[in-house]
Amino acid sequence: FSKENNILYGIFRNTTLANSSDTSHAVCSYSIDSIREAFFQSIKRCLVDGKGYRGLGFISPDTHCVSNKNLNEINHDYCPDSDDRFFQYPIGGHRSLEQIEPIIELNENVNFTAIEIVSINNDVMILLGDDNGTLYTFHVSNMNEIDKQNFPSSMIIDLKLINKKPLLRNANLLVLTNNQVTMI
């Protein structure tokens, strides 16, 4: 998540190719505003339009949505109180968030296990860690230049940039692997 840009980043893997040697990954970004809008539209569709299901099967039995609110009673910050039936029957459904094109696609035979995002002026630096102990670093403005650094026989579990303000050159990256913590 990038607080500066209000964007959520995600790493995706083509699971249909998970057992092949031609595995592809993508890093995508989604604005928090588009995520909020998708949640709002799901709530509106159920509570105002009466379409869809409530219950999420694994939490409580599914039941059809019933129109019991008007559009003036809900907004993007709508949260039911404990007297509302919505509280017992959460709204299910799937609303896709469209990402027209991934930020970057990588064809590496690894599993990406960690991500850290850094906003730098008008650019974004993305750091990815994998299950073979490789750290990938690239800038969104120049996808052709990817820096790789290896941490032998270690899965990278988490990445955390510290002291990134006021200047990035003063920052340190903590790399948590399955057997050590390294600061670079």
Please enumerate in sequence order all residues whose Cβ is within 8 A of that of 167, keeping only pairs 6 or more positions apart, or say none: none
What number of residues does the chain have?
184
**DSSP three-state, residue 35:** helix
CA distance linking residue 103 with residue 84, whole number of Å = 41
**DSSP three-state, residue 100:** coil
pLDDT at residue 156, rounded to an integer: 92
- Of residues 5, 10, 3, the one with CA closest to residue 97: 10
Cis-peptide, bond into residue 80, ω within 30° of zero: no
What would the pLDDT profile of 2-28 be if each residue is shown by its tens digit? Answer: 666 788 888 888 766 555 555 678 888
Residue-averaged pLDDT of the chain: 79
Residue 128: is its pLDDT beyond 90? yes
What would the pLDDT profile of 85-119 be if each residue is shown by its tens digit? Answer: 555 566 766 666 766 678 888 887 788 899 998 88
- Sheet containing 123-130, strands listed edge to edge, beginning at the edge strand earlier in sequence: 112-120, 123-130, 134-139, 142-150
pTM above 0.85, yes or no: no
The whole-angstrom distance between residue 151's C-alpha and the CA centroid of its chain comes to 25
Tell the residue number behind the tokens 């809008």, with chain if given.
37
Domains of the chain, first to last? 1-109 (no CATH), 110-184 (2.40.10)
